[in-house]
Amino acid sequence: MHELDVLWNNSFRHTFDCCWRNSVKPIQFFCHSLPLSYLVDERQLTFFSKLQRNDNYVLRTLAHLLMVKYETLVLATKYGLSDIYCAESTFKELTSLSFVQKVQL
């Protein structure tokens, strides 16, 4: 994931002709774009949340087993969630808020 984040950041540096030593977080902030690791976290939480809310018992059981394997609940607590039974918009808001708090303008 770190290598993908570096590639993502380098694409911003190249696009905006930034110095390679500077952080691209402010650029990403003003472009309304999250770092790739945040996007992956957001989509993973959304995926497991949708599986958990599914009417199919087999899918819900599979979701529970996969959540334990991929430590999805640990990921949820990283963004201040006690569980993943939230709307998709909640995940987007929390990941964006977490990123905004880390941006140093």
Give the H/E segment covering residue 81: none
Is 90 a residue whose pLDDT tops 80?
A: yes
Output the pLDDT for position 66.
Answer: 76
pTM above 0.95, yes or no: no
Rounded Cα distance between 33 and 99, Å, is 10
pLDDT digits (tens, 9 = 90+) for 14-41: 999 988 888 899 899 999 999 999 999 8
Helices (H), ranges, the chain: 2-15, 25-30, 36-52, 57-69, 72-78, 88-102
Q: What does pLDDT average to over the chain? A: 84
pLDDT digits (tens, 9 = 90+) for 44-65: 888 888 888 888 888 888 877 8
Output the pLDDT for position 5.
Answer: 92
Rounded Cα distance between 4 and 17, Å, is 19
Rounded Cα distance between 43 and 41, Å, is 6
